[in-house]
């Protein structure tokens, strides 16, 4: 056989799998629903219509394997594709409710006939070589096309026409010469997995997939960050394609149970991430990976992965797989999305047990000693933790003590020290110094070993509770280009306020003396000489305008929380500038306020900025600030 012909032999299988996926995903799952909505069919009527589709799908998934004795697989597939095509085109008509029932039933029938026939007789269309890869490529291309932006965003009519035409193309493909049978290259032989466990695993995965898909598509916030815009669609499509190809590799090298376990991990991660809209961008990465991993396995299982069996047995398995996992699993997932709006963590655990059971059984069989000892010692540790070593119940902790625990839990010591080194520049910036005795009174001391941010030993002296809270919620907004992550989630419960109370409590002996010392601070003369108003303006816009401009983001977000609204520096009033001050004294005062803030107010300092930065800000401010009046 010529090399080229050998390479492309079996392309029919790839095309047919891709067509089936496009028809199912973009038409049956998507366009048909939108079409029903445009026809005014909703709520209970829509559920009934979808039930008719599921009924057709389940019924014919179980019936089709019985007709192959009298009809050839080719004829059966052509008939299924024709029915699917007719069903797709018929949705373009102005359907009544009754007609919608019929069309939905026919869609289910067509899909059942096509899917069960293809997966049962895969080698007929993929040929003998690299069948797994061809199936993966077909699955990946199917998903990729569905996420192709012009198709995904097209009208339901255009999507239905595309699906109908593709089914007709599928019929033509089946008329092409059959590929060379060749030697079947199957994955490495592994321990057979009981069919019932496979069925449970696929059902759980389809359930998770359908629930996650429904939740995303019906939540504007989630959809915005996962499935809207060309970039998302291209990313989803590409991830689907690569994950499908990875599935072929995994199925060949690591087997079905490992691949399904990987698919579960990805889907479970997606479902858990969808519980919180903020990290849902990550969900849009895990979701397509999980879906493509199991989708390839779902197509390949009856013919390529299950132990060798007769066509009849393969067909019966395929029928049950698509009836139970495909149709019922999908319906249950959509129901969960509709009724709960999220996938409960307990369900994810249960689904995990279902999907991972073959792997767990294998693991237990081959690593019994390891599993037993690990579980046994885990139980012993649990007993010790809850029994002899259990921590005695503390008296109720104060808010500050609870806040200290939050400080420890969040690993704040890895970026913030709590140690002002005596006789060092630390003292001016973050002082006063804490005594060793005070340090040792803490259990444990929280000195830290690395500063990615300021020292916090005396932060209560320098920052108000409002500033701390605003900074936790949006550090970059409050503090220029801060690299600190947002800790807004702490304010969903009491942790945030506890932490703020703890930090606000951090000011010890010597505070008054320290305030007195900084009130006499002056930048170096050299810094005044080289002050750069343009640099000052940049720093002002980065760090000050958020509170001191009338449209500053922090000012607007926390307006009611300020002890006194920060003055708009373009207009005043300037509470801390005296009209009696000479120009030099005024500059010094502006520099001091910029550097150390105003203790006892919401005005923070910028202690770590250099003298040059501080004088530059002061010079620029002095240029824009009108002369204060007596009234101000």
Partner 1 sequence: MLTRDDIAAPCDKSLAVVSAAWHGLFWLVFANGVGTLLAVLLLVPALNPILGEWTYGRWIMVHMNIMLYGWTSLPLVGFLFRVYGADRGAVAPWCRPILWVWSAALAVGVCSWLSGHSSGKLFLDWSGYARVFFPVALAALWLLLLAALVRNRNHASNAHLATKAAKLAGLFILAMVPFLLYHSAGPDFYPAVNPDTGGPTGASQLESSLGIVAVMLVLPFGLAHRNPASRRILLTAWFVLIAESVLCVMLGTSDISHRVPAQYLSLGTLLVWLPLMPAYYCAFAWHPETRRWRGAFLWWWSALVVTGWIFFLPGVLDRFKFTDGLVGHSFVAMAGFTSSLIIFVSIQLLGQHGWIFNRSRSFYAWNLSVIAYILIMTVAGWREGFDPAFTIVPGPARNLLYSLRLVTGILMLLASLDWLVDASTVLRRPSSQFTHQAQEKAA
Q: How far is the CB of 385 from partner 1 (least distance, A)?
A: 4
Examine residue 600 and tell whether it contacts partner 1 (CB under 8 A): no
- Could you tell me if 211 and 269 are in contact, meaning their C-beta atoms sit under 8 angstroms apart? no
- Could you tell me if 547 and 554 are in contact, meaning their C-beta atoms sit under 8 angstroms apart? yes
At residue 581, the 3 state secondary structure works out as coil
Examine residue 537 and tell whether it contacts partner 1 (CB under 8 A): no
Examine residue 630 and tell whether it contacts partner 1 (CB under 8 A): no
Scan residues 447-476 and list those touching partner 1 (CB under 8 A). 447-455, 476
Examine residue 360 and tell whether it contacts partner 1 (CB under 8 A): no
Examine residue 403 and tell whether it contacts partner 1 (CB under 8 A): no
- Could you tell me if 524 and 425 are in contact, meaning their C-beta atoms sit under 8 angstroms apart? no
Task: Give 424's DSSP letter.
Answer: S
Examine residue 349 and tell whether it contacts partner 1 (CB under 8 A): no
What the block records as the tokens of 195 is: 């069919």
Nearer to partner 1, 276 or 512 (CB): 276
Examine residue 37 and tell whether it contacts partner 1 (CB under 8 A): no
| Surface-to-core class of residue 317, CB atoms within 10 Å of its CB (0-12 exposed, 13-18 middle, 19+ buried) | buried
**What is the crossing angle of helices 280-300 and 131-146, to 10°?**
140
Nearer to partner 1, 47 or 254 (CB): 254
The Cα 227–Cα 216 span in angstroms is 8
Could you tell me which stretch among 26-34, 274-282, 587-595, 623-631 binds partner 1 (CB under 8 A)?
Answer: 274-282
Examine residue 485 and tell whether it contacts partner 1 (CB under 8 A): yes
Examine residue 381 and tell whether it contacts partner 1 (CB under 8 A): yes
The Cα 554–Cα 437 span in angstroms is 39
For residue 470, how many C-alpha atoms fall within 13 Å in the half-sphere facing its CB? 24
For residue 201, how many C-alpha atoms fall within 13 Å in the half-sphere facing its CB? 28
Examine residue 556 and tell whether it contacts partner 1 (CB under 8 A): no
Q: How far is the CB of 50 from partner 1 (least distance, A)?
A: 34
Could you tell me which stretch among 33-41, 103-111, 139-147, 368-376 binds partner 1 (CB under 8 A)?
Answer: 368-376
| Surface-to-core class of residue 360, CB atoms within 10 Å of its CB (0-12 exposed, 13-18 middle, 19+ buried) | middle
The Cα 16–Cα 22 span in angstroms is 10
Q: Given candidates 27, 419, 562, 620, which one binds partner 1 under the rule CB under 8 A?
A: 419
Examine residue 182 and tell whether it contacts partner 1 (CB under 8 A): no
- Could you tell me if 14 and 137 are in contact, meaning their C-beta atoms sit under 8 angstroms apart? yes
Examine residue 278 and tell whether it contacts partner 1 (CB under 8 A): yes
Q: Given candidates 38, 155, 230, 374, which one binds partner 1 under the rule CB under 8 A?
A: 374
- Could you tell me if 557 and 481 are in contact, meaning their C-beta atoms sit under 8 angstroms apart? no
Examine residue 385 and tell whether it contacts partner 1 (CB under 8 A): yes
Examine residue 508 and tell whether it contacts partner 1 (CB under 8 A): no
Examine residue 422 and tell whether it contacts partner 1 (CB under 8 A): yes
Nearer to partner 1, 66 or 253 (CB): 253
Q: Given candidates 353, 408, 556, 565, which one binds partner 1 under the rule CB under 8 A?
A: 408
Tell me the sheet residues that pair with 568: 572
Label each residue of 500-520 as H, E or C. HHHHHCCCCCCHHHHHHHHCC
Q: Given candidates 410, 477, 568, 581, which one binds partner 1 under the rule CB under 8 A?
A: 410
# of chain residues touching partner 1 (CB under 8 A): 68
Q: How far is the CB of 608 from partner 1 (least distance, A)?
A: 5
- Could you tell me if 300 and 184 are in contact, meaning their C-beta atoms sit under 8 angstroms apart? no
Examine residue 2 and tell whether it contacts partner 1 (CB under 8 A): no
Residue (of 138, 132, 121) closest to 14 by Cα position:
138
- The neighbour count for residue 556, using CB atoms within 10 Å, is 12
Binding mask 486-505 for partner 1 (x = CB under 8 A): xx-x----------------
Binding site for partner 1 (CB under 8 A): 273, 276, 278-279, 281-282, 367, 369-374, 377-378, 380-382, 384-385, 389, 407-415, 417, 419, 421-425, 429, 436, 439-440, 443-455, 476, 480-487, 489, 608-610, 613
């Amino acid at each position: 056989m010529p090399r080229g012909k050998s390479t492309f032999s079996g392309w029919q299988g790839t095309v047919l799998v891709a067509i089936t996926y496009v028809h199912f995903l973009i038409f049956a799952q998507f366009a048909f629903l939108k079409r029903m909505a445009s026809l005014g069919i909703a709520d209970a009527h829509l559920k009934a219509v979808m039930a008719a589709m599921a009924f057709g799908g389940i019924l014919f998934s179980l019936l089709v394997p019985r007709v192959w004795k009298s009809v050839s697989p080719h004829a059966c597939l052509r008939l299924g594709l024709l029915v699917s095509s007719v069903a797709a085109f018929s949705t373009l008509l102005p359907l009544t409710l009754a007609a919608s029932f019929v069309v939905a039933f026919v869609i289910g029938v067509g899909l059942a006939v096509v899917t069960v026939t293809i997966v049962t007789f895969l080698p007929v269309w993929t040929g003998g070589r690299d069948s797994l890869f061809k199936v993966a490529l077909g699955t990946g291309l199917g998903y990729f096309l569905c996420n192709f932006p012009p198709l995904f965003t097209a009208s339901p009519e255009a999507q239905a026409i595309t699906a109908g035409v593709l089914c007709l193309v599928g019929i033509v493909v089946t008329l092409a010469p059959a590929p060379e049978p060749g030697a079947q290259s199957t994955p490495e032989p592994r321990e057979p997995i009981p069919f019932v466990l496979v069925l449970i695993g696929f059902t759980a995965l389809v359930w998770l997939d359908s629930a996650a898909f429904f939740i995303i598509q019906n939540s504007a916030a989630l959809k915005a960050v996962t499935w809207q815009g060309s970039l998302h669609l291209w990313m989803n499509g590409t991830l689907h394609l690569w994950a499908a190809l990875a599935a072929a590799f995994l199925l060949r090298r690591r087997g079905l149970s490992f691949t399904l376990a990987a698919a579960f991990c990805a889907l479970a991660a997606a479902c858990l991430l969808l519980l919180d809209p903020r990290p849902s961008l990550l969900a849009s990465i895990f979701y397509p990976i999980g879906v493509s991993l199991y989708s390839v396995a779902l197509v390949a299982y009856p013919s390529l992965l299950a132990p060798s069996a007769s066509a009849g047995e393969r067909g019966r398995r395929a029928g049950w797989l698509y009836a139970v996992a495909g149709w019922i699993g999908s319906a249950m997932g959509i129901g969960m999305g509709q009724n709960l709006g999220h996938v409960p963590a307990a369900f994810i655990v249960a689904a995990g047990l279902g999907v991972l059971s073959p792997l767990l059984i294998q693991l237990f069989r081959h690593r019994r000693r390891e599993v037993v000892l690990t579980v046994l010692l885990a139980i012993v540790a649990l007993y010790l933790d809850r029994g002899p070593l259990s921590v005695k119940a503390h008296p109720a902790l104060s808010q500050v003590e609870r806040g200290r625990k939050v400080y420890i839990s969040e690993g704040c010591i890895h970026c913030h020290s709590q140690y002002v080194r005596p006789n060092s520049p630390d003292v001016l910036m973050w002082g006063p110094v804490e005594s060793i005795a005070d340090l040792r009174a803490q259990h444990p001391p929280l000195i830290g070993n690395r500063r990615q941010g300021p020292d916090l030993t005396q932060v209560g002296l320098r920052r108000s509770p409002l500033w701390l809270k605003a900074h936790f919620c949006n550090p970059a907004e409050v503090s220029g280009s801060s690299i600190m992550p947002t800790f807004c989630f702490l304010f969903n419960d009491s942790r945030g306020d506890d932490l703020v109370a703890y930090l606000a409590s951090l000011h010890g002996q010597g505070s008054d003396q320290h305030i007195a010392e900084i009130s006499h601070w002056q930048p170096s003369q050299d810094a005044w000489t080289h002050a750069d108003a343009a640099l000052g303006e940049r720093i002002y816009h980065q760090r000050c305008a958020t509170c001191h401009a009338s449209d500053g983001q922090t000012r607007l977000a926390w307006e009611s929380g300020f002890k006194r609204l920060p003055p708009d520096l373009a207009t005043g009033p300037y509470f801390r500038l005296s009209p009696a001050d000479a120009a030099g004294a005024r500059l010094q005062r502006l520099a001091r306020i910029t550097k150390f803030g105003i203790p006892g107010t919401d005005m923070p300092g910028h202690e770590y900025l250099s003298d040059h930065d501080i004088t530059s800000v002061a010079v620029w401010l002095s240029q824009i600030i009108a002369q204060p009046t007596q009234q101000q």
